[in-house]
């Protein structure tokens, strides 16, 4: 219990520090939202528009940094992030709300799949050490995880999208012929569009899960209690899953909880390559447009998600592995 409290306290302190950084960093960037808007419409808006934009965004009626910080903290607590500047006059929450589902769907499902498949393959290749699977998998995926995921994405897009026409070349669904809704056609359309970007992420992330799982599994297999189980004549399957894998999965589980936290930050480059309407691209756009409210909303979301995930991972490890508790 004391451990849990300490962890939670630490969590709150980190959260505050992260929130303050979120507030300060965007404001250290040169320029202001009105200038960014003008650059975005390079050639379309006259310089006279800067006057109108200044009034619109309240750039010239500047508040002091301290009072901005005050209203920022108030926004954080109330969950109201105001109006986006790059997507003016839409509200930050509605913009994030529109994009987050695409990211959760694409990156979230890919992360879960990568973890399950990777851990499974890691268990099996460690169990059949030196076998065919074991001599193929680790080298292949070490290489695959060293390749940047957007490069894999571009190659897949070129082969299966542009050349073979097996899969669509971008967007989250057929934007002009299909309308979003809870029906099978739309669902299949979405899966079809998510396949290539999802595959690029899967191919490049699965290697880490396989390797860590395989390595801890091999160490665990050398433990006395595994030998004991063998001596008792337990079936191989039971030793593999209940005796070895159950203990070996702990580091992977922590890693998994953390990567779930990072899911909300999206996959900027993949979303870019596949014109996918998720959070990652929105973040990039917010930074380019000096959209402080949207940046704050997004960074806060990401920070909180990661911190919560770490907290859960900590507590989960403590629950699963008594040694971490005893050490305190």
Partner 1 sequence: MRRLTTIGVFIGAGLLAAGCSAGSGSGSQGSGSGGGKSTSSSVLTISNENGATWTCAFSPFNGSDTLVSVGFVYEPLVYVNPLQNGATTPMLATAWNWAPDDKSLTFTIRDGVKFNDGTPMTAADVVFTFNMLKKYSALDLNGIWSVLTGVSQTGSNQVTMTFGAPAVPYFYYLADQTPIVPEHIWSKVSNPVNFTNPNPVGTGPYAVNPCTKDNITYTANKYYWQQGEPHIKKVEYPAFLTNDAANQELANGQAQWGAQYIPSIQSYYSAKSPDYHYWFPPTVNVSIVPNLTDPQLSNVKVREAMSYAIDRGQVSNIGETGYEPAANQTGIVTPTFNSWLDNSALASWGNAYDPAKATTMLQSAGYHKGPDGIMVNSAGKKLSFTVINIGGYSDWVASMQVIQQELKAVGIQVTPSNLTNTAFDQALYYGHYQLAYYDQQTFGPGPYYELTNWLYSPNTAPVGKQAATNYERYSNSHPAGLIRSYAATTDSAQQHSIVSQLEQVMLSQVPIIPVVEGVDWYQYDTGSFTGWPTSSDPYAQPPAWAYPDNEQVLLHLQPK
Interface positions, 264-303, toward partner 1 (CB under 8 A): 271-277, 281-282, 285, 288, 290
- Complex with partner 1: residue 54 or 223, whichever CB lies closer: 54
Which positions from 78 through 107 interact with partner 1, judged by CB under 8 A? Answer: 83, 86-90, 95, 98-99
How far apart (Å, rounded) are the C-alpha atoms in residues 274 and 266?
A: 13
253 near partner 1 (CB under 8 A)? no
Under 8 Å between Cβ of 90 and 314? no
Q: What one-character DSSP code corresponds to residue 64?
A: P
Using CB under 8 A, pick the residue from 1, 2, 5, 47 that binds partner 1: 47
Q: What one-character DSSP code corresponds to residue 167?
A: S
Q: Where does 28-173 have alpha helices with state H? A: 33-40, 49-57, 65-78, 92-103, 109-127, 132-146, 149-156
- Complex with partner 1: residue 157 or 248, whichever CB lies closer: 157
Nearest to 202 by CA among 156, 135, 167, 249: 156
The interface region with partner 1, picked from 6-14, 167-175, 212-220, 315-323 by CB under 8 A, is 167-175
- Complex with partner 1: residue 30 or 130, whichever CB lies closer: 30
- Complex with partner 1: residue 76 or 281, whichever CB lies closer: 281
Q: How many residues does the chain have?
A: 328
25 near partner 1 (CB under 8 A)? no
Contact pattern for partner 1 over residues 190 through 209, marking x by CB under 8 A: -xxx-x---x---x------
Q: Please classify residue 196 by burial: count the beta carbons closer than 10 Å to its beta carbon, then call 0-12 exposed, 13-18 middle and 19+ buried.
A: buried
The interface region with partner 1, picked from 31-39, 216-224, 240-248, 251-259 by CB under 8 A, is 31-39
146 near partner 1 (CB under 8 A)? no
| 183 φ/ψ angles, rounded to the nearest 5 degrees | -140, 165
Which positions from 211 through 250 interact with partner 1, judged by CB under 8 A? Answer: none
> Whose structure tokens read 């159950």?
246
Residues 6+ apart with CB under 8 A from 128: 134
Q: How many CA atoms lie within 13 A of 138 on its CB side?
A: 17
Using CB under 8 A, pick the residue from 15, 18, 35, 258 that binds partner 1: 35
164: left (phi over 0), alpha (psi -120 to 50) or beta: alpha
134 near partner 1 (CB under 8 A)? no
Q: How far is the CB of 146 from partner 1 (least distance, A)?
A: 13
138 near partner 1 (CB under 8 A)? no
Using CB under 8 A, pick the residue from 136, 151, 228, 241 that binds partner 1: 136
DSSP string across 287-306: HHTT-HHHHHHHHHHHHHHH
Using CB under 8 A, pick the residue from 75, 160, 308, 318 that binds partner 1: 160
65 near partner 1 (CB under 8 A)? no
């Amino acid at each position: 219990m004391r451990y849990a409290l300490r962890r939670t306290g630490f969590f709150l302190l980190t959260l505050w520090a992260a929130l303050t950084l979120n507030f300060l960093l965007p404001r250290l960037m040169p320029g202001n939202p009105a200038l960014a808007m003008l650059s975005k419409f390079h050639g379309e808006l006259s310089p006279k528009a800067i006057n109108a934009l200044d009034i619109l965004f309240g750039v010239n009626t500047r508040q002091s940094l301290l009072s901005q910080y005050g209203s920022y903290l108030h926004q954080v607590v109330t969950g109201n992030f105001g109006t986006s500047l790059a997507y003016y006059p839409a509200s930050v929450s509605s913009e994030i709300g529109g994009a987050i589902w695409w990211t959760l769907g694409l990156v979230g499902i890919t992360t879960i799949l990568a973890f399950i498949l990777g851990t499974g393959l890691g268990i099996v290749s460690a169990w059949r050490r030196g076998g065919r699977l074991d001599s193929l998998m680790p080298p292949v995926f070490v290489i695959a995880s060293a390749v940047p995921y957007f490069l894999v994405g571009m190659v897949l897009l070129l082969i299966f999208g542009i050349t073979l026409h097996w899969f669509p070349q971008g967007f989250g669904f057929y934007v002009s012929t299909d309308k979003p809704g809870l029906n099978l056609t739309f669902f299949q359309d979405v899966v079809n569009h998510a396949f290539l970007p999802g595959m690029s992420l899967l191919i490049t992330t699965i290697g880490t899960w396989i390797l860590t799982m395989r390595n801890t599994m091999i160490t665990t297999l050398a433990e006395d209690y595994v030998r004991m189980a063998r001596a008792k004549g337990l079936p191989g399957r039971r030793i593999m899953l209940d005796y070895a894998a159950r203990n070996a999965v702990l580091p992977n589980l922590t890693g998994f909880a953390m990567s779930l936290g990072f899911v909300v930050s999206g996959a900027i480059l993949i979303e870019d390559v596949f014109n996918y309407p998720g959070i990652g691209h929105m973040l990039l756009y917010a930074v380019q447009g000096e959209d402080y409210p949207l940046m704050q909303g997004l960074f806060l979301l990401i920070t909180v998600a990661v911190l919560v995930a770490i907290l859960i991972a900590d507590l989960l490890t403590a629950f699963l592995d008594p040694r971490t508790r005893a050490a305190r």
